[in-house]
Structure formats: C-alpha cells, structure tokens
Chain A
C-alpha cells in the first residue's frame, strides 16, 4: 500500500528540526489550469526549478554513460566534477555501495540532513538518483524519480528531453525469433486492446520483456502501440535488449507461454462487472438450450456420438461447445480422435460468440445428424424410431425450438 511508502518518505522529509507539516490546503483546480494545478511544499521559483532540472539532466546523462562505458568512464567524470553532491554520488556508484546506505553516507559526509528540506532539495534528488543507479535502473526511471520532487509542472518538459536523448538505440536492435504462438494470437479478433493492456500490466516489465524478446518485430510493435507511450516504448525496448542477452531461448519460450496463459485467461473468465461483449453474451445465453445440448451429449450412445462428431464440420462442433456444460465437453472430446479434437479446438479458438438464434439453428442441425445416424437404413415410413424416452424428449425439445 502507498501508505507504507508515504510513512518512509514522511520520515525522510519532515523529521527534521523546525519543519512543520504542510498547512491545510483545499485546492480545487479549475479546468484551465488543472493539469498544472499541483502545489508543492517547497514552492520553488522557476529559476531554481530550472537549475534543479539541469542538475538532474546532468546526473542522468552521466548514469547513461556509466551503464554503457563502465566504471572507468564514471571515475573520469567524477575527477572533473566540481559540484560536491554529484562528485560524492559518483564515487558511491563507482564503489558499488549498497543502495540502502546511500542516505546515511550523504549524512555522514555532511551533504544532507543539517538544513531544512527546502535547502536540502538538490541533495534529496541526488540521493534518490544514486539509490536507483546502484540498483541498475534505466536513466529514464532515474530522471523521472529525481524530477518528481519538482511536481507535475515539469512532467512534459522532462518527457520531451528524455525522448530526445534516449530514442537512438532502436534501429540497432536485431530481431530474434524463437518458436512461440504469440504472433499467431495477436493481433486477433479474440484479443481486445483492453485485454492485451491488462495482461501487459499483470505480467510486469520483466516478464513482458522476456515475452517480446523472441517475437517478430511486427508483434512487438503491435503490443507496444497498445500498451505504452513513446517513452514507455523506449524503456521496454531496453528491457527486451537485456532479456535477449540474459535469457536462453527456452526461457524466452517459457515467458511467452506464461504471457499467453495470462492473456487467454481474460477470454475464458470474463469479469462479471465489466459489461463486455463476452459478459453480455454469457448473460444472454439460453440456459435451457445449454442444458438440452449437454444432456444430449451425455445420453447418447458412445458409438453414435463418435460417428456423428467425427463426420461433423469442426466449426459446427466448435459453435456447439459454446453452449455446452464442461462435463459434456469432456465426453465429446473423449469420444473422438486427437486429430479431430485439435481441429475442433482450432475452430473454437477462432470462433466468435453466437446469438441464441444461431446457436439454436446449429443445435437443430446437430439433432438432425443424430437422428440420421440412429435411423436404420431401411426404415419403414410411418414407424417411429426406437429411441430411449430421455433421448427422444431432448431431441424433441431442441428441434421444436423456434
């Protein structure tokens, strides 16, 4: 919960002598200034804000160089650095200090904690950046975190600068394609932008990067266009590059399969509160028809069922499965060859929810096929078929529907 993070931050920013909590401010921004109507405790002047942004930019660019060129580069920059805060931060990063002792190190060096937070402002920014750099965070995350101290008024400006400075590596990426089904599933009529975006967030950046690392460029671009802003696309590209160098092909395939499982779980378990197309369909389906089709499958002689389903178009079987209870699925699939099962499952994968009228029509075709299978070749006209009563009742119920 955010309360825990707030408790830690509260401890850091306001547990100093002479500091009072922000007075009660009940701001109601007007539509015109709403996006910039965020009030910060520090109340910095535009000039001071610009100075701090420049400080954060410089730190971020050095961290980028450090991640590319290594420790020697950082030591060289540190040697020429005039500003105490930056110089000390670089020395901590070069010596790979533990990230959780950064604040303590700054306090011990007399660079933080002796003055009110308004005056320690830059130190707080540099401490946050140093902690992230020691955790090997991407420079974009470092810059976003450092400039969060300045409020939302600099958000767009920072985004523009980050895109300008970190959007150069994209064309150097080589495609790596490993066996996997994701390129066949997205884009597809069964995967909505909402479900893809939801799966991306559930997966988190690490699993997502490993998933996309083995996909063709087209699939990567499609998913990126649905779930990420331009800055987010730069970050996920960086994560994908890392995943390609860190994981084996088997691990990338496993990641892709895990993501597919997440994505498909949204199709099979629609949220009852979402008001989605799938949900509307579920609420609308004729429960009597579902019961009749399911009972028919369960009542039929195994030989008859096998014969009818084996000769049936997989698309027809797939549409019937939409209106069948799970126990009937099991019986249907247990009666047929695995090659036929696969065809039906493929057809099911590409099927769309049908209306009650369409489902009824297909159930009636199925019932007629059963009657044709049961009827003797030399059946005498006028004589009724020798059917068990329960089966007769189910067939009549389905065929008499309008």
Chain B
C-alpha cells in the first residue's frame, strides 16, 4: 500500500517543465545500477577517490550529489533494508529541499534502496518511473524499453 500525505505531495510538487527532466535522471540512475551489478558497490562507495573525476561519468554524478555519495557508503556498511530506509528517510525529511530538488532526492533514495536490495534493472526502472507521474509512466517505460531492447520491437 502506498501512503499519501497532503503536505508531502505539496513539497514534491514541481512544474511540467521540471518534470520533463526526470526521464534523464531515471536513465542516469539505471546506468549507475548497471555499474554496481558489474563492479560491485565498493568502487562507488570508496571515500578516497578524487571528487568529480570526469573520466568516470557515473562516479562524477555520484560525487556531485551528497545523497548518492553518502548513500552508497551506507549501502556498503551492509545495513538491513529497514535500517537503511529509516536513515535515508531522516536525511530526506530533515533536508531543506522542496519542489524539483526534493523530488530528485527522493528518486535518488528510491534507487539507493533498490540497489541495496539487489533489485534487477527492470525492477529499479519500475520503481522509478512513477516519480515521473502516473500518466507519463507507461509511455516512458515503453520508450526506455525500446531504447534498451531495440530487438524487442
């Protein structure tokens, strides 16, 4: 069951123009999850790598987002899903963000929890697309499927 909270909905609200940027974020998060499946979590959770290494696009993306950077560190601490979700929910709730930036952070956390649970790429995609809005989720799923599996069409 998905809970609903009017104030949270207000906090998540953003314009259609801003929502148009969400599919790109979904793609970035899928790319990062692919990387963890191939190389493991530690290369993304290591604290001693230089900031924003442009030669590694996924790493650069992570370095630019405190939520992703520290979130991967928390995943590599091997916390239970329940503990991890509790901690990340506190970071989100006590943050000063609202609107598009808050929605983006929520998507990051959703991706972190999915990666921590060892979800497949497909499942991660299905957890992220609802953030783009129910009316857009289906068309986005189809578009992403077509892009990722051109043979399937």
Smallest Cβ distance from A20 to chain B, in angstroms? 10
Contact of B39 among A1, A132, A144, A193 (CB under 8 A): A193
Given A36-B66, A155-B73, residue A202 in contact with residue B5 (CB < 8 A): no
Contacts of A368 in B (CB 8 A): none
Contact of A5 among B85, B94, B98 (CB under 8 A): B85
| Contact in complex: A1, B127 (CB < 8 Å) | yes
B139 contacts A by Cβ under 8 Å: no
C-alpha spacing A386/B118, complex, angstroms: 56
Q: Mark A317-355, 1 if CB is under 8 A from B, else 0.
A: 000000000000000000000000000000000000000
Contacts of A144 in B (CB 8 A): 74, 77, 79, 83, 87
Contacts of B110 in A (CB 8 A): 1-2
| Contact in complex: B69, A201 (CB < 8 Å) | no
Q: Mark B14-34, 1 if CB is under 8 A from A, else 0.
A: 000000000000000000001
Given A128-B90, A148-B87, A149-B94, residue A2 in contact with residue B41 (CB < 8 A): no
The B interface, classified by DSSP as helix, strand, loop or mixed, is helix
| Contact in complex: A2, B77 (CB < 8 Å) | no
The A interface, classified by DSSP as helix, strand, loop or mixed, is helix
| Contact in complex: A205, B97 (CB < 8 Å) | no
* Residue of chain A at shortest CB distance from B118: A202
Query: Residues of A at under 8 Å CB distance from B?
Result: 1-15, 21-27, 29, 31-32, 34-43, 128, 132, 137, 140-141, 144-145, 148-149, 151-152, 155-156, 159, 192-194, 196-206, 208, 226-229, 231-232, 235-236, 271-276
Query: Residues of B at under 8 Å CB distance from A?
Result: 1-5, 7-8, 10-11, 34, 36-42, 45, 47, 51-52, 63-67, 69-70, 73-81, 83, 85-102, 106, 109-110, 113, 115-118, 120-121, 127, 148-149
Given contacts A10-B7, A38-B67, A141-B79, 7 further A-B contacts (CB under 8 A): A23-B98, A31-B64, A41-B94, A137-B83, A144-B87, A199-B118, A235-B78
